[in-house]
């Protein structure tokens, strides 16, 4: 398995609180991605990064921000969590120049 | 990116070949066909991809029609652990986003 870890693996928080999810890779891949998965919607891209400090929005980026200060870490922040952000969040890494992506184990986030 | 069409669900007997079809009639010349699967509660797993030629690796074979408008993923000897949702995705080589559809729920029965 590709060296991808996500932390925390499970989190319960309250509406209005900030939350940061971390994705860490040991593969030195250039691309990193954050997806969310919800019943009936499949996997949807939130944000992605194509290098240190280089990020771009995906299809469901509202309410989320990201940062990538070093190659191995990609952080996803919910500035003020809402119940609609209850979901399973997956991080993925990608080989430069290709769409082959390797996914982490996921973080289950519940916003009460 | 081109859209794909897959059956919602399929069944297969353990030990038999599982053949999962995918239609991608609007695929463009430089787009690849990718297959991923997701076992319940786990992150999606890359299986295989191809452009024109048939491809085989330790997990599966990918057969792409000559006109590239459809493809078939073949799991030669399905096991119970192959029960998963299988996603067919058409994408480029830019390292950009993957667009996941609903996929095919494959159930391998004993």
Q: Average pLDDT, whole number, for chain B?
A: 91
CB contact under 8 A, A92 and B43: yes
Min distance B52 CA to chain A CA atoms (Å) = 16
pLDDT band at A95 (very low <50, low <70, confident <90, very high): confident
> Which pLDDT score, from 0 to 100, does residue B6 have?
96
Min distance B89 CA to chain A CA atoms (Å) = 10
Of B49, B94, B96, the CB nearest to A100: B49
Find the distance separating the first CA and the last CA of chain B, reported in whole Å.
Answer: 38
CB contact under 8 A, A99 and B45: no
HEC assignment per residue over chain A: CCCEEEECCEEEECCCCCEEEEEEECCCCCEEEEEEEECCCEEEEEEEEEECCEEEECCCCCCEEEEEEECCEEEEEECCCCHHHCEEEEEEEECCCCCCEEECCCEEEEEC
Over the stretch A57-76, which tens digit does the pLDDT of each residue have?
998 999 999 999 999 999 99
Phi, psi of A8 (to 5 degrees): -70, 170
Enumerate the residues of chain B whose CB falls inside 8 A of the CB of residue A93.
Answer: none
Average pLDDT over residues B75-103: 85
The answer to whether A52 faces chain B, any CB pair under 8 Å, is no
CB contact under 8 A, B44 and A90: yes
> Which pLDDT score, from 0 to 100, does residue B1 have?
56
pLDDT band at A86 (very low <50, low <70, confident <90, very high): very high
pLDDT band at A54 (very low <50, low <70, confident <90, very high): very high
CB contact under 8 A, A97 and B94: yes
Average pLDDT over residues B17-29: 93
Residue B2 clears pLDDT 70, i.e. is over it: no
HEC assignment per residue over A6-22: EECCEEEECCCCCEEEE
User: Mutate which of A34, A50, A101 to test chain B, going by most B C-beta atoms within 10 A?
Assistant: A101
Over the stretch B26-36, which tens digit does the pLDDT of each residue have?
888 888 899 99
The answer to whether A39 faces chain B, any CB pair under 8 Å, is no
Residue A2 clears pLDDT 90, i.e. is over it: no
Residue A106 clears pLDDT 90, i.e. is over it: yes
Is residue B77 within 8 Å of B58, Cβ to Cβ? Answer: no
pLDDT band at B101 (very low <50, low <70, confident <90, very high): confident
> Which pLDDT score, from 0 to 100, does residue B100 have?
82
Enumerate the residues of chain A whose CB falls inside 8 A of the CB of residue B103.
Answer: 42
> Which pLDDT score, from 0 to 100, does residue B33 have?
92
């Amino acid at each position: 398995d590709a060296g991808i870890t996500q932390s925390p693996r499970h989190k319960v928080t309250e509406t209005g609180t900030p939350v940061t999810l971390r994705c860490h890779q040991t593969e030195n891949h250039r691309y990193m991605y954050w997806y969310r998965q919800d019943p009936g919607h499949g996997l949807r891209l939130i944000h992605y990064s194509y290098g240190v400090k280089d990020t771009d929005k995906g299809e469901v980026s509202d309410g989320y921000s990201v940062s990538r200060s070093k190659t191995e870490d990609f952080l996803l922040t919910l500035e003020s969590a809402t119940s609609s952000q209850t979901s399973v969040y997956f991080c993925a890494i990608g080989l430069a120049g290709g769409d082959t992506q390797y996914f982490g184990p996921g973080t289950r986030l519940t916003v009460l | 990116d081109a859209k794909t069409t897959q059956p919602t669900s399929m069944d297969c007997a353990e030990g038999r070949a599982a053949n999962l079809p995918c239609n991608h009639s609007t695929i463009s010349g430089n787009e690849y066909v990718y297959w991923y699967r997701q076992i319940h509660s786990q992150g999606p797993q890359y299986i295989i991809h191809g452009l024109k030629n048939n491809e085989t690796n330790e997990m599966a074979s990918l057969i792409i029609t000559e006109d590239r408008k459809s493809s078939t993923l073949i799991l030669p000897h399905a096991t119970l652990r192959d029960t998963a949702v299988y996603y067919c995705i058409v994408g480029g080589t830019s390292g950009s986003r993957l667009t996941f559809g609903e996929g095919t729920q494959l159930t391998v029965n004993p």
